[in-house]
């Protein structure tokens, strides 16, 4: 027992250092170095139902928008709540249990419900192929074609204060129709 305690205490000392060249956290391990890399990370995570990673790749501005709308119970910022069965909308206690540990947890639960009921505002779960990129300083737009989506999908990217590229929003549109924006900045208004 004393040996186990000694090993544990030795491992908790101040002399530990972050490995050189290695990521210290899961977020640091994500490739957000370029708009293309960040978009690929985002799209790959969405396709794998890894909504925690989707949350992490969202720009802090998008995260704040989602957080505000979740606080106001405006779930239509993330899912098409009109197509979700009434019983799912009524089961908020199942989706958002009191032991939730943060907004990302609520986002994750809501996105799983949207996946289960085919209620994504913009469904990026199928194959998505980036077809073009336009970078202007700290902002970028990446055009993509997505399976099952008519028209162009655009990922609006912005460089964060720490230099990583993050997704500010995703739009989808066809010629002559107003674009659908996810998350919608006007949803809670």
Question: Dihedrals φ, ψ of 108, to 5°?
Answer: -60, -45
| Domain 30-182, CATH | 3.10.450
Across-strand partners of 155?
142, 170
Across-strand partners of 153?
144, 172
pLDDT at 175: 74
What is the pTM (predicted TM-score) of this model?
0.75
pLDDT at 72: 58
Give per-residue pLDDT as tens, 3-12. 433 433 344 4
The Cα 36–Cα 48 span in angstroms is: 18
Helix (H, G, I), strand (E, B) or coil at 111: helix
Q: Is the pLDDT of residue 33 over 70?
A: yes
The Cα 122–Cα 80 span in angstroms is: 9
Lowest mean pLDDT among 20-29, 89-98, 109-118: 89-98
| pLDDT bracket for residue 45 (50, 70, 90) | very high
Helix (H, G, I), strand (E, B) or coil at 170: strand
Using omega within 30 degrees of 0 as the cis cutoff, is the peptide bond preceding 122 cis? Answer: no
Across the range 156-179, mean pLDDT stands at 91
pLDDT at 98: 53
């Amino acid at each position: 027992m004393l040996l186990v305690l000694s090993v544990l205490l030795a491992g908790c000392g101040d002399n530990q250092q972050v490995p050189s060249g290695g990521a210290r956290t899961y977020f640091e391990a994500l490739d957000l170095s370029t708009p293309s890399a960040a978009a690929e990370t985002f799209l790959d995570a969405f396709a794998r139902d890894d909504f925690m990673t989707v949350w992490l790749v969202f720009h802090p501005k998008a995260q704040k928008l989602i957080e505000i709308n979740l606080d106001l119970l405006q779930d239509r910022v993330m899912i098409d709540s009109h197509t979700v069965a009434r019983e799912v909308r009524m089961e908020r206690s199942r989706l958002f249990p009191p032991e939730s540990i943060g907004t990302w947890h609520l986002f994750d639960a809501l996105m799983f419900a949207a996946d289960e009921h085919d209620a994504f505002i913009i469904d990026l779960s199928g194959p998505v192929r980036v077809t073009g990129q336009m970078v202007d300083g700290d902002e970028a737009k990446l055009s993509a074609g997505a399976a099952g989506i008519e028209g162009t999908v655009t990922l609006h990217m912005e460089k964060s204060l720490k230099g990583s590229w993050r997704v500010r929003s995703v739009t989808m549109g066809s010629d002559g129709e107003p674009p659908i924006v996810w998350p919608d900045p006007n949803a809670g208004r």
